[in-house]
Amino acid sequence: MDNKRDMFSMKKAMEEREASQPKEEHVQEQQAPIPIENTDESNALAKTAAEAGVFLTSNNRHIYENFINRAKYGHQGAMPMKCKGTKCGFINMCPLHEAGDELPLGKRCPVEGALVKIWVEKHIDALDIDPNDPDYAVDMDMVYELAGLELIRNRAASHLSDDPELFKEKVVGYSPQGEPIYDDKPNLSLLILEKYGKRVDKLREQLLATRRSQAQMGRLASDNSVRAANMLKKAQELAERRRTRNEATDAEFEIKEDQKDDG
């Protein structure tokens, strides 16, 4: 009994000693969060949140930075759908599902996010756009708009893959006898592809027109520069000849005889 009592007393004493000592992990968890500085790239979000009485911290910096990056060039950053797992209407085109990998349920679809990034980078390379140059801000907005339209067209194409019928028989009315009247209507996915395809073509034309006008302005500036350089060269050559000859040049003249008045 005495041994058991001693063991119990020792165990209790050790527990009390451990409880009295601060744990490093616990102390770290209780540390005050570090506010986001004004130099942070999430400064705009931090300022507006502070005006609302909410002070963002750098502990979740990556969340704020991801939001800023998504929203930088318009609404296209919010377009990638949230993963619904196997209940997603586009599950048949999901490469993660096809490969048997884990699906990011409840998070933004990485597949659509990757598609937008691929389309944006393709146009940036093709049009020689510098995304870090403020002069290309309008071009970047148009490129992201193109990527957003392509995302909608991609979804329409996925629906068309599952439902490839070009026309569907639908009830458009009823006869006086109450019998339904049918008519063939085009597949809605086809109409979406056509509608947004026109907008895609228009945006592409605007981007190319900007490049053509810039190239044309460059050629005109080059032509004017060449003319000015040629004129300057001729003037310099003429001045040099006059200086080296050191002789007068006869001027052309014509002697006119006085006309006598017949009167």
Distant-in-sequence, close-in-space partners of 197: CB < 8 Å, separation ≥ 6: 153
What is the identity of the amino acid at 172? V
Cβ distance 200 to 153 under 8 Å?
yes
Residues 71, 77: Cα–Cα separation, whole Å: 5
Report how far apart the first and last C-alpha atoms of the chain are (Å, whole number): 167
**Rounded mean pLDDT of the chain?**
76
- Rounded to whole angstroms, how far apart are CA atoms 68 and 64? 6
| Residue 200 backbone phi and psi in degrees, to 5 | -60, -45
pLDDT of amino acid 7: 54
Tell me the average pLDDT across 105-128.
90
For residue 122, count CB atoms less than 10 angstroms from its CB and return exposed for 0-12, middle for 13-18, buried for 19 or more: middle
Predicted confidence (pLDDT) per residue in 26-36, tens digit: 434 444 444 55
pTM for the full predicted model? 0.57
Percent pLDDT > 90 in the chain is 19
**In this structure, which amino acid lies at residue 188?**
L
pLDDT at 26 (0 to 100): 42
- Residue 252: the pLDDT is 60
Q: Kindly list the domain boundaries of the chain, sorted by start residue.
A: 34-71, 105-211
Separation CA 44–CA 50 (nearest Å): 10
Segment among 182-186, 189-193, 246-250 with least mean pLDDT: 246-250
Distance CA(11)–CA(192), nearest Å, equals 74
pLDDT value, residue 172: 77
Q: Please state the separation of Cα 23 from the chain's center in Å.
A: 47
Residue 17: per-residue pLDDT: 60
User: Which stretches of the chain are assigned E, i.e. beta strand?
Assistant: 167-174, 180-186
User: Distance between CA 244 and CA 29 in Å, rounded?
Assistant: 89
Distance CA 86, CA 105 (A): 9
Quick one: CA torsion of 133, 134, 139, 144, rounded to 10 degrees? 90
Q: At what angle do helices 43-51 and 61-71 cross, to 10 degrees?
A: 110
